[in-house]
Amino acid sequence: IQNVLSIAAISIVVILQPELRKALEDIGEKNFINNFLGDNSRLDEEGRFSDKTINEIVRACFEMGKVKTGALIVIKQNQPLDEYERTGIEVDATVTSQLLINIFEKNTPLHDGAVIIKDHRIAAARCILPVSKNRDLPQEVGLRHRSALGATEFTDAVAVVVSEQTGNISLCYNNTMTRDLTPSTLQQELEEILTKD
């Protein structure tokens, strides 16, 4: 019986080798120890939401605003955005202002639609969002703004919009739109929303 058990244990390891390897890779990628200790996925290595990610988003928005490049950036919080991600093109890249600006550059393949940021990374671009049916929105608000608001009606996501017509920046959260933000107010709003418990 002892020999049979030893052979069975070795056989299981050999047979399930690919599955065991995949499981160990997943544990390594997800930093199992930090997750076990209750580390929040929205936190960076220093134990707080990344100031760098927020800074890169703010910088990109106002650089695009100066040249009136329209943009729509959605930041995932707790509720999944998988159904919207699937409508776009997977990117999986570090959030940098240069990359965001390049994505929304006019006449490039990815510029149309929304960028979704998840876990400090650009998860997908050219994503399609639900359009808000809010009748109280001003007439001058276009489809990009309505899509940003629509995403925040159904999820706890945060959406930042750069107007192609005016270059002004708006922020949508919790089915509310705040328009004509300055760099400091956008930074403050994002910090308050994204770093709260």
Tens digits of residue pLDDT in 18-31: 666 556 555 554 44
Which of the two residues, 9 and 19, has the higher pLDDT score? 9
Strand order in the sheet with 89-94: 89-94, 121-127, 114-118, 71-75, 158-162, 169-173, 176-178
* Rg of the chain (C-alpha set): 21
- pLDDT at position 110 is 84
DSSP code for 130 = P
- pLDDT at position 39, please? 43
Specify the DSSP element, H or E, that contains 141.
none
Query: What are the pLDDT digits (tens) for 125-139?
Result: 999 998 888 877 777
Q: pTM of the predicted model, to two decimals?
A: 0.74
Model confidence band, residue 149 (pLDDT cutoffs 50, 70, 90): very high
Q: What is the pLDDT of residue 36?
A: 47
Instruction: Return mean pLDDT, the chain.
Output: 83
The answer for residues whose C-beta is within 8 angstroms of residue 58's C-beta and 6 or more apart is 183, 186, 187, 190
Helical packing angle, 183-194 and 51-66, nearest 10°: 150
Summarize the confidence of residues 127-156 as an average pLDDT. Answer: 86
